[in-house]
Amino acid sequence: LFPGAFSCCMKISDEISKGILRRVERFEIQKAGGLCHLEAVILHMKGRKFCVNPWNREVEKIMKKMKHKIHRRKYHVRKQRRTRRIK
């Protein structure tokens, strides 16, 4: 990642271990253009970031799985009822 105000991936990895993929908490997609010249996926783990090739099959699978989890969680959140205060 590029140190400074912007966090751009300056180079990407084509291979990534399954152990790292299992510990991914979230991901970001970096588009080519503007200040960042590479298209990449930034995988976030506890205190670490990895820049990987967005066309890697394993990375595509984990992104799809995580999007599905987020999507599912979003719609199953129950709204809390308002409770009335009785005087």
Kindly list the structural domains of the chain, giving each domain's residue range(s) and its CATH number in brackets, ordered by start: 18-86 (2.40.50.40)
Sign of CA dihedral 67, 33, 35, 16: positive
pLDDT of residue 80: 59
pLDDT of residue 52: 94
Residue 6 has pLDDT above 70, yes or no: no
Report d(CA 52, CA 39) in Å as an integer.
9
Q: Kindly report, residue by residue over 12-63, the tens digit of the pLDDT.
A: 999 888 888 889 998 988 888 878 888 999 999 888 999 999 999 999 988 8
Residue 78 has pLDDT above 50, yes or no: yes
Chain-wide mean pLDDT for the chain? 78
Give 25-33's long-range contacts (Cβ < 8 A, gap of 24+): 26/66, 27/62, 27/63, 27/66, 29/54
Stretch among 5-9, 17-21, 73-77 having the lowest mean pLDDT: 73-77
